[in-house]
Structure 1
Amino acid sequence: MNQFSFIKLKVLSFAFIIGILLLGAGVEASAQKVRLRAQITPNCGNNSNLKFADIYADGNIAVQGSYLCRGAFIYDISNPDAPVLSAWYNPGANLQFLEAVVIGNRGYFGSGNGGGVHIVDLTVPSNPQLLGIVNAGSGNGFDSIHEMVIHGNYLIENFNGFANKVIKVINISNPANPVFVRDINPTETLWIHAMHIRGNRMFTSGWGSSTARGRTEIYDITNIGTQAPTLLGFIEDATSITAGNNMHSSWSSEDGNYLYSCRETNNGSGDVRVYN
């Protein structure tokens, strides 16, 4: 499956989840008072429907990844009713930042087409400053990533394709000098699509294949800087080989007792599952 298929499936799965949320909002809209505060769509000069990728926010800053638009978009959301595009971080005008994460005043932009992960100072959102890049030559990272999470001083990333299922852990406490920590080799048969962390536990979303079930694995990453993560267990669908495959992403409840996991499909058969 190529990158275009990945993003297409990702968009379909995202649309499915949003549909569920909107249905729930419609039932209890009067009680929850759900309403659209604002909408902003930057003009990147591309008319495709596949313009943007993941979005993330922290404090007054939101960042948005891209697919065909290229670059990463940085927003000032201090006024939720009037978000402002502060900057379009687009070095070289051709980097496909599938992932965009902001923690405090630092942005992390992960390229799906060979640019590695850019670590950017967003102290002044309108003037982003590159602090360092994680790639094969710097930190022994991946040149192309599909998903990533930031866990304290550590970048945890996967590869953008089925050719490699390894998850890399890199110390980025000094963005100009990233240090490789370790590879995590999951028991998942094919590929890990995404990772989610709550406290000291990491949940992976396995893709599976036509002959092997995809696995959602749970790791203890308490001392990830000095010790290899401990596999605590995994979830497999018991009904058939393919019914539990294509796990797109997961999210745990605040109390850590439930895991919500969604599947990514292109035929409308995707679902959201809840595990205790």
Structure 2
Amino acid sequence: MAKKNANSNLPVEEKLQNLYELQIVNTQLNNIKKLQGELPLEVSALETEIVTLDKKIAKLEDEHKGLQMSIVQHENKIKEAEALIEKYNKQQNNVKNNREFEALTREVELQKLDIQLANKRIRETQQKLGNKDTTLDASKGRQEEKRADMTLKQEELEKITAKTEKDEQKFLRKEKRARKKIDDALLAVYDRLATTYKNGLAVVIVERDACGGCFSQVPPQTQLELGQRKRIINCEHCARVLVAANIRTSLEEIEQQEEEAAAAAAAAAE
């Protein structure tokens, strides 16, 4: 049997207050993320693209070396064939009959054909090598552009992070404390709603007779019940948790409450 969270026994009014405090803190964290914009995603995408380019360039360089070795092999074959031709020409001067002469002549012709074929293969390989060089240069150029772009975006992101890191850490600590005040079941509902909507709003105030999330009209009877704070009410249209306008709490008020609680705890400890 699942252990029941002690916060589930809190009065509804206190539950709503805790939910709304968590929403305020999360909204501030979302605002910090908005300052960073798409930079974290862009930097991550560039890192992935650069890794892909690194692999492509390494493969192209291996293929380039392979083509160069192929040319060297064909050149060696030509040298071997030329050496054999020279050898057979000398042997023709010492033949004893026409049959030996003709046999050596055929060998010379075969070596000449091998030379022609090797030269053809060299030309073909050189053309492939040229195409490979073009692709390799283009890939390296693209790699340099991506690295430069990533460096700029990283520097921009680091500047923003340096400005917001202190506040972000402060709000993360507040978020942790705020979440501890809410029972597990209610927290699960909050998290589901917060992730459902891009603006992260799970708890909204009813203002001008409308839901602060989807702006649908809220019936007068529902508004009356919100003011009584006897039960948790969700918007009929977007399912966000609704709270009355008089629950509005500022970050300054939350901080003041925390400071007073800390001071009281310190005094009690003395």
Higher relative strand content:
1
- TM-score above 0.5, yes or no: no
Q: For the pair shown, which has the larger CA radius of gyration, 1 or 2?
A: 2
Higher relative helix content:
2
TM-score by length of 2: 0.18
TM-score by length of 1: 0.18
Q: Which protein, 1 or 2, shows the higher relative CO under an 8 Å CA cutoff with sep ≥ 6?
A: 2
